[in-house]
Amino acid sequence: MFKKILIANRGEIALRIIRTCKEMNIKTVAVYSTADKESLHVRFADEAVCIGPPASAESYLSIPKIMAAVEITNADAIHPGYGFLSENADFAEVCNEYGIKFIGPQASHMRKMGDKVTAKATMIKAGVPVVPGSEGLIKNLEEGEKIATKIGFPVMIKATAGGGGKGMRLVWSVDEFEKGWNEARQEAMACFGNDGIYIEKFVEEPRHIEFQIVGDQFGKVVHLSERDCSIQRRHQKLIEECPSPFMTDDLRERMGAAAVKAGEWIKYEGVGTVEFLVDKHRNFYFMEMNTRIQVEHPVTEEVIDHDLIKEQIKIAAGEPIVGGNYLPVGHAIECRINAEDPFNGFRPSPGKITSFHSSKGHGVRVDTAVYTSYTIPPYYDSMIAKIICRARTREECITKMSRALDEFIIEGIKTTVPFHQKLMKNEKFRSGNFDTSFMNDFDMEE
């Protein structure tokens, strides 16, 4: 087992990792930029090394500086957390060269699954369902109609140079295809100067449901069930829960098997998440894979009763997985609390926290690295806390989260607590019948 782990990260995840290391009797080294001198992760670690000025590029993202810190502290492993260098294949390789264990997958895993196109191609080979689509650009109308019919309607006609919803047309039947084809190409040419078109199946009322997998160094992969992350704003997750209100035993078995297959195919090592889109008919399609521990990992921890950071460290130390897949017991919801003003377009609100009272009580967990008198630096992301509630049923969990949000007091900065309070009372959310379009209709002022 490792003697000393250097945490190449900051904020709540750095603190999270330090806590587990302490329980495992592993020494910890924190690295920090000058902006993070007063951070909790610096205070809680056994040793701390200042590695650079505030800018991430010159501190938390600087491979040479982090390796220098490893050198002078004699750490034998690095935990990269999430974000920063956690999915940087070059960094994983540098660690290998220096004989330092990178707690995570191999560089090859990151390269295979990091690029969406490569990942999709890999999954097709593995026999995991992906969003059906044309293999390249469509040459002409006839080919387009043929491929669309093969994929199955409804389809999205998409401009390869497209973005911001431009050059896209939704087509529900082969009769409508020609019209959509012409319009999409004209719009694409006008907006991007490129009328190259491809086709993808339109996933109706898509839900974002991801599966947590764990793979050991001996080829065994298991899944730890799902997390529903459909409620997103600009592709940023706001809230996650397990079980997904849309899940059935059969769907979990099918999706779980696909997630495990994906992991086994690439001989995945460590914890990872396979993201799927699920349509209203409960067809599921591979979207992408995250080769790291995720922000929302506590949701899974609360329903399967295991410490995922501990599992990561054990796997990195060469321990084999014992047991099989885990099904959730009870219900857990996580609300991400950001230093943003939900009444003003969620604009960032860094500054000094003059007063902080965290939620507590039965079934309430708060992962945070802020405290009273802490100043949130403007250089990093705006997430300041995660409130995770666990109860026997979804309804009880929502009630508990409401209670927890009401007693979560932060003064001096604006936070997204009011947004979550409103969300807990929202009929659509409470019903469990929502998909990724949910935030399009959600209005803070109503």
By CB under 8 A, tell whether 45 contacts other proteins: yes
Of 277 and 370, CB closest to other proteins: 370
Q: Which of 67, 171, 278, 332 binds other proteins (CB under 8 A)?
A: 67
- 255 contacts other proteins (rule: CB under 8 A): no
Among 48, 103, 239, 299, binds other proteins (CB under 8 A): 48
The answer to whether 61 contacts other proteins (rule: CB under 8 A) is no
220: left (phi over 0), alpha (psi -120 to 50) or beta: beta
Q: Which of 5, 18, 69, 278 binds other proteins (CB under 8 A)?
A: 69
Axis crossing angle, helix 89-97 with helix 63-73, rounded to the nearest 10: 30
Report the chain's C-alpha Rg in angstroms.
Answer: 23
- Binding to other proteins (CB under 8 A): which residues in 4-43? 30, 34, 37-38, 42-43
Nearer to other proteins, 99 or 345 (CB): 99
* CA 129 – CA 416 distance, rounded (Å): 36
Nearer to other proteins, 28 or 312 (CB): 28
- For residue 25, what are the CA distances in angstroms to 2, 5, 20, 49, 186? 9, 11, 9, 20, 64
Residue 262 interacts with other proteins (CB under 8 A)?
no
Regarding 64 and contact with other proteins (CB under 8 A), the answer is yes
Contacts to other proteins from residues 380-399, by CB under 8 A: none
53 binds other proteins (CB under 8 A): yes
- Encoded tokens for 117: 């196109």
* Among 1, 23, 55, 72, interactor with other proteins by CB under 8 A: 72
Q: Which two tokens stand for residue 28?
A: 């910890």
| Angstrom distance (rounded) from CA 402 to CA 162 | 41
Q: Catalytic annotation on 292?
A: yes
Phi-psi label, residue 104: left if phi above 0, alpha if psi -120 to 50, beta otherwise = left
86, exposed or middle or buried, with CB in 10 Å at 0-12, 13-18, 19+?
A: buried
Q: Is 47 in the site for other proteins (CB under 8 A)?
A: yes
Least distance CB 36 / other proteins (angstroms): 11
What tokens appear for 315 in the block? 């796997």
55 binds other proteins (CB under 8 A): no
d(CA 439, CA 446): 13
- Residue ranges of alpha helices (H) inside 24-140 are 40-44, 63-73, 89-97, 107-114, 116-126
Catalytic-labelled residue, pool 252, 292, 336, 390? 292
Nearer to other proteins, 374 or 434 (CB): 374
Backbone angles phi and psi of 6, in degrees to 5? -95, 130
* Contact with other proteins (CB under 8 A) among 1, 23, 55, 74: 74
CB of 190 to other proteins, least distance (A): 51
- Could you say whether residue 312 binds other proteins (CB under 8 A)? no
Give 72 or 170: the residue with its C-beta nearer to other proteins.
72
Q: Which residue has the tokens 């609360």?
A: 302
**Separation of alpha carbons 135 and 126, rounded Å:** 17
| Beta bridge partner(s), residue 232 | 237
Which range in 64-72, 399-407, 418-426, 438-446 contacts other proteins by CB under 8 A? 64-72
Residues lying near other proteins in the complex (CB under 8 A): 30, 34, 37-38, 42-43, 45-53, 59, 64-65, 67-69, 71-74, 98
Active site residues: 292
